[in-house]
Amino acid sequence: MLCLRLQFIGLLLFSTVMLSAQTSRHWTVTETARDNGHRLTQIATPVGAGSSAGGLTISPDQRFQEIEGFGGALTESSAWVLAQIPTEKRAEVLHRYYDPKDGLGYTLARTHINSCDFSLNMWALDETPGDYDLLNFSLAPMRRWLLPLLHDANDASGGKLQILASPWSPPSWMKTNNRMDDGGSLRSEYAPAWARYYVKFVQAMAAEKLPIWALTVQNEPQAKQVWESCLYSPEQERDFVRDHLGPELEKAGLTNVKLLAHDHNRDILEKDTAAVFGDPKSSKYLWGAALHWYVSSDFAASSRVHAQFPDKAILFTEGCWEGGGAIGSWEHGEGYARNMIGDFRNWVCGYIDWNIVLDQRGGPNHVGNFCDAPVIVDTATKEVRCGPSFYYIGQFSRFVKPRAHRVASSGGPAELQSVAFLNPDGSLVTVVLNEGNAPIYFTLSTGTESLACSVPAHAIQTYHRDAN
């Protein structure tokens, strides 16, 4: 499906269809469904009061975590792919992701310090062995592809993009295996220099007028990968934050930059956070934990961490479908929604997808670790296509605004998955997901009003009630 004609032109995407006079003027319903062609399409609002049977009840007065926002990763690979298409198409992709009015409304982004697997090759911002004082640190490796994308995405967001930066590996000369890939660990004698490296990066990006909102300590610190990686035990990560990274950020006056530990999967979230948050001297430097979705679907793990450390945020920072581009895979879209609902219902405060754009193979990736992305570009034909994932993510990000709060939702048919939010302007958002093969009928109740609703098979809907 051609992303830049379709709904982008406005026939379906974010339709401004007027509501029927017989429906409430305060509600709109937006739908993405496998079998009827709807892609973020506004549909008729339910009419009349529903019954108590199958009732989904929303309680706006019961508020939980504040939502930071939604976004995707701006990698060198995404930057390269977007540079292969005409300027106007590239601009349209960014507009449809970041524009706050008629795009997905992305306000968050993740990028990499040094290279990652979704880079064209392996590189570091200081390649000089033994440069303890970082005299040769430079953003030069980012200037051809990555920095232009970061600038343009920030512009498309209205200058409001909050950038999170993560390292996959220190430079090879700082590591025990003398290489950026294949695991290895940070050499203890270079821990002070590596901590200053983060400071240098934040300061250099500020000079580029791209302020860094947050940092993670290390991408997937317990995974030895064939691409860029660096191993930390939970205790080693705790000690690096406590003794080096936290103090260096503080000394540089960068305590406004949020610092997140873990940046790995749910299955080890509790063990990692027990170490880094359990030590008051490391915990004081940490805003929260970053979360990936691979390996485990134990969404309740983040609730258990919240119960133990209620002052710490939990931010989702990476998830994708591995194996290469898969345009048209409805299961991928449903998987995003299932994970988002499960995480938001368990105290996760924001969602950052992995690459915003990849090529037809699901790359480029310098070690062949190809993945799917919501937008795929055929670099030969210059065709831009959106998969179901793009629209499923948009059913959340288009309507749930930064500083919204998740609110209580309960009941409804067992097959119906749901989550609800209250926006800062007082508008109410409820997202419902049906992964089954038959429609689901239910009543949506807010305590003061109820609607008789139905969601088609393999579909997602967003119910939005205005503040007035």
Q: Which residues are catalytic?
A: 220, 318
> CA-CA distance, 157 to 380, in Å (whole number)?
29
Question: From its phi and psi, is residue 75 left (phi > 0), alpha (psi between -120 and 50) or beta?
Answer: beta
> CA-CA distance, 43 to 31, in Å (whole number)?
7
> CA-CA distance, 182 to 223, in Å (whole number)?
9
Q: Name residue 265's beta-bridge partners.
A: 292
Query: Which three-class secondary structure state does DSSP give residue 141?
Result: helix
> CA-CA distance, 31 to 42, in Å (whole number)?
6
DSSP 263-306: EEEGGGHHHHHHHHHHSHHHHTT--EEEEE-SS---THHHHHHH
> CA-CA distance, 339 to 323, in Å (whole number)?
19
Query: 144 with 157: CB under 8 angstroms?
Result: no
- Residue 184: closest CA among 196, 198, 168, 208: 168
